[in-house]
């Protein structure tokens, strides 16, 4: 039960599902739909991070340590290259997750 409550708190606080302050229904529904989609993406990221220190991390921790990364992105016609800083603490985990999320 405690884990379920933590996941609900993650979605409300870290994915902004609690911000349904518009007076109309459709904008609130759209925000909740985007929040649910982000939740699914983060669950897939957690699934790919099994056997790592971030396997059971909260959404806020994953966002701060893997998504909000200062990097240079180089796009060619066939591939994307990420130039990560050498001092990034979770560089190996980021590379493993990126390699696992690449479509076959």
Instruction: Report pLDDT digits (tens) over 13-69.
Output: 677 777 777 788 888 788 888 888 888 888 888 888 888 888 888 888 888 888 888
Place of tokens 């925000």: 31
pLDDT at residue number 75? 92
pTM: 0.69
73 bridge partner residues? 82
- The answer to whether the beta carbons of residues 84 and 69 sit under 8 Å apart is yes
Calculate the CA 46 to chain-centre distance.
9
Q: Is the pLDDT of residue 74 over 90?
A: yes
In three state form, how does the secondary structure of 41-78 look? HHHHHHHHCCCCCCCCCCHHHHHHHHHCCCCEEEECCC
Give whole-number Cα distances, 16 to 2, 42, 90, in Å: 20, 14, 25
The domain ranges of the chain are 2-101
């Amino acid at each position: 039960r405690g884990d379920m409550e933590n996941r609900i708190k993650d979605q409300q606080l870290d994915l902004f599902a609690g911000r349904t302050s518009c007076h109309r229904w459709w904008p609130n529904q759209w925000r909740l739909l985007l929040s649910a989609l982000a939740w699914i993406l983060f669950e897939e990221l957690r699934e790919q991070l099994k056997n790592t220190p971030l396997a059971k991390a909260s959404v806020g921790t994953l966002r701060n340590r893997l998504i909000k990364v200062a990097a240079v992105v180089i796009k060619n016609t066939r591939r994307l290259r990420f130039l990560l800083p050498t001092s990034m603490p979770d560089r190996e985990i980021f590379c493993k997750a990126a390699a696992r999320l690449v479509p076959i």
